[in-house]
Structure formats: C-alpha cells, structure tokens
C-alpha cells in the first residue's frame, strides 16, 4: 500500500521568495512515481512536476523543483520566486508501480503575500 503525508496544512510566503512544501511517502514498491498538483481557488487540478523513483537528478519545471531524498522517503516541492498566482492548494501524490493507483496527500494551502 502507498501513503502520502503532507504535514503543513497552511503556509505563507512573501512574494518573490522561495518556499518549500513538504511531502513524505511510504511505499513497498521498488518502482514508483511522485507527482505534485496545484489546485487554485477556481478548482481545477493542474499537474506541476514528476519524479521517478529511479531518477538520479531532481526534477525541475520552470520555477518548480522537486527535492527528492529517496532514503528519507521525501519529495518536497520547492517554488522559487513566488508569485501571487501561486496561492493555491498543493497536493503531493504517489503512483504505485503495478496497479497504476494514485494516492494523494491532504494538501498544503499556500498563500503568497504581496
């Protein structure tokens, strides 16, 4: 079974600063994928970034990077140069290796302060 834990229900960051959103996971699979999604107040779910369990490099997508520490089972999302439009809920998810099942954390609400 897979499990995702996001321990920060709410975070605040000053505009233009960087912020780290925490995510830890638990899995018995050797091969798995880790994903981050953004849900703005309008409700849609937006895919941000992916990290494979065998990827040696941390994933980056524009201002988003994933700080992957496999031994610690953590996959933290780093947003650099925060913008007001980054204010949203952020969900971490894990994809199991065999069943193609996605498990989501409870999310972190990020507020960017001008």
Partner 1 sequence: DSGVTQTPKHLITATGQRVTLRCSPRSGDLSVYWYQQSLDQGLQFLIQYYNGEERAKGNILERFSAQQFPDLHSELNLSSLELGDSALYFCASSEGGRRGNSPLHFGNGTRLTVT
Judged by the rule CB under 8 A, the positions of this chain that interact with partner 1 are 31-33, 35, 37, 43-47, 50, 52-53, 91, 93, 95-107
Q: Which is nearer to partner 1, 43 or 114 (CB)?
A: 43
Report yes or no: 87 and 112 within 8 Å, Cβ to Cβ. yes
Least separation, in Å, of the C-beta of 78 and partner 1?
19
Q: Which is nearer to partner 1, 37 or 68 (CB)?
A: 37
CA dist., res. 96 & res. 39, Å (int) = 22
Which residues sit opposite 34 in a β-bridge? 51, 94
Q: Which is nearer to partner 1, 10 or 16 (CB)?
A: 10
Least separation, in Å, of the C-beta of 109 and partner 1?
9
Backbone angles phi, psi at 85, to 5 degrees: -70, -5
CA dist., res. 105 & res. 109, Å (int) = 12
Least separation, in Å, of the C-beta of 61 and partner 1?
11
């Amino acid at each position: 079974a897979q499990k995702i834990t996001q321990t920060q229900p709410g975070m605040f960051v000053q505009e233009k600063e960087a912020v780290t959103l925490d995510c830890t996971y638990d899995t018995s699979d050797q091969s798995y994928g880790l994903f981050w999604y953004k849900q703005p107040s309008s409700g849609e779910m937006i895919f941000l970034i992916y990290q494979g369990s065998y990827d040696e490099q941390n994933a980056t997508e524009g201002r988003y990077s994933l700080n992957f520490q496999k031994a610690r089972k953590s996959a933290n999302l780093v947003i650099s140069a925060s913008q007001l439009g980054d204010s949203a809920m952020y969900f971490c998810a894990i994809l199991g290796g065999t069943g193609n099942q996605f498990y989501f954390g409870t999310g972190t609400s990020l507020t960017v302060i001008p």
